[in-house]
Structure 1
Amino acid sequence: MSKLILIRHGESLWNKLNLFTGWVDVPLSERGIEEALKAGELLKEWKIDVVFTSELVRAIQTAMLVMSKNTSGVPKIEHENGKMKDWGIVYGEHGKNYVPVYKSWHLNERYYGKLQGFNKDEAKKIYGEEQVLLWRRSYDIAPPGGESLKDTAERTIPYFKEKIIPELEKGKNVLVSAHGNSLRSIVMHIEKLTKEQVLKLNIPTGVPLIYEYSEGKLERVGYLYEWGYDKSLHIE
């Protein structure tokens, strides 16, 4: 039985400032770093065989901070193209003592288009509170120049099926470090949530969400806290 560990990146500097972030490459805040390290302590003794992250630094930071506490091996980013792919091959005695980390834009946060960089309260003043709420809480309505949650799901779910599920089928434990909306779409697929349910799904930052994979099925274990598992899905 293999395990799937989903983790939403810790608080970013723009989360802290209440800004629409999307694909803007913003690092973690001090609190976000603490959240990632705390998750790493919880997962310290867990065997992790492979890591997937988005292309955005806040998700990469979170994955690396988690793995800095883990005993499975040294995380190593696998470059898929160019000289880094060829020059990054490990030939020495530690060739097997590392955990591969794969980055993909398919796991990026929802792209917020022309809202990116706007304070959320300022955006309400410009576009109207009802319109901003519609963009944020509708399944298939996108902000200007951006993606809807449906658009996000159309890139995350195929990647999940084609790249992540095969690793689970091999019996490997997988860590996925990504974002609120990219993970919501993956959880929607796993849990078979309706469009209405996924819009109410709230995935907390820096808290591992654990699934067990067996015989082609994923079963939720729950969110992992220092006191144990929270088995609810946080649909508010």
Structure 2
Amino acid sequence: MKLILIRHGESAFNALNKENPHTRVFSGQADILLTTKGTAQAKKLQEHSEINNSTLIYASDLTRAYETARLATQRIDIIRDKRLNERSLGLFNGRSESELHEYREFIATQEFKHSFQTAAPNGENYQDVSQRVTSFLNELPLTSTQTVSIFSHFVATRLMLRTLLALSDEETLTLKISNCEPIILEGTALGTFQLLTKLEKL
């Protein structure tokens, strides 16, 4: 099977955090929209022949990923799956650091942003997300010759790559997942897939 993993186009919070890095907003599972740039990034994927030839198209249930899939493929048979959603940040979803006064010490002292153990209050850690994306990958017909495109998010894509390539936790945390930059892999069993495109590191 050939898999194409795509992180959604630039979202409103992506843009906001680039412009104001000192007043970070936590996206998590807040259902936010694409920016004009994000929409253009998604439409640009229409030129990608392997995405166009995909047998199956899957997308996160969140609007920014589903809209990216819709704009990129112009198809109506996109399968939405909540297991592809971004990591939940619980009480922090869609809120800025500046308004989370009661959690100031937690944010300053706890390594929850990219951790396999620690989570935001009522949220998920990397291991939680890994379990649900692996459940999704296990249901794919991996031994088939199909091409499948999967539109998802930063953390979810990192953790799919961890499962597909049998990466360590440390290697997973070095992966750079850019908006609308397709990552192509091929294989027949989880942990044995091979990369067909260059995978950038932070």
Superposed, 1:143-222 pairs within 5 Å as 143-162=120-139, 164=140, 166=141, 168-213=142-187, 217-222=192-197
Aligned partner (choices 106, 110, 117) of residue 94 of structure 2? 117
TM-score by length of 1: 0.74
Q: Compare the two structures and name the one with the higher strand fraction.
A: 1
> What's the counterpart of residue 80 of structure 1?
none
> What's the counterpart of residue 58 of structure 2?
52
> What's the counterpart of residue 21 of structure 2?
none
CA–CA separation in structure 2 for the residues paired with 1:26 and 1:183: 18
- Unaligned runs of 5+ residues in structure 2 are 18-24
Superposed, 1:92-103 pairs within 5 Å as 100-103=77-80
- Unaligned runs of 5+ residues in structure 1 are 69-74, 77-99, 223-230
- Is residue 2:15 matched to residue 1:9? no
Superposed, 1:23-62 pairs within 5 Å as 23-43=29-49, 46-62=52-68
Change in Cα spacing, 1:45 to 1:110, as seen in structure 2 (3 Å) is: closer
Q: CA RMSD, aligned part only?
A: 2.3
CA–CA separation in structure 2 for the residues paired with 1:47 and 1:143: 39
> What's the counterpart of residue 131 of structure 1?
109
Change in Cα spacing, 1:205 to 1:185, as seen in structure 2 (3 Å) is: same
Task: Report Cα offsets for 1:32-61 as digits up to 9, x if no partner.
Answer: 111111222233784111101111111110
CA–CA separation in structure 2 for the residues paired with 1:209 and 1:122: 36
In our comparison, the structure showing a higher alpha carbon Rg is 1
Number of aligned positions between the proteins = 193
Alpha-carbon offset, residue 131 of structure 1: 2.8
Alpha-carbon offset, residue 192 of structure 1: 1.2
TM-score by length of 2: 0.86
CA–CA separation in structure 2 for the residues paired with 1:111 and 1:191: 24
CA–CA separation in structure 2 for the residues paired with 1:141 and 1:45: 35
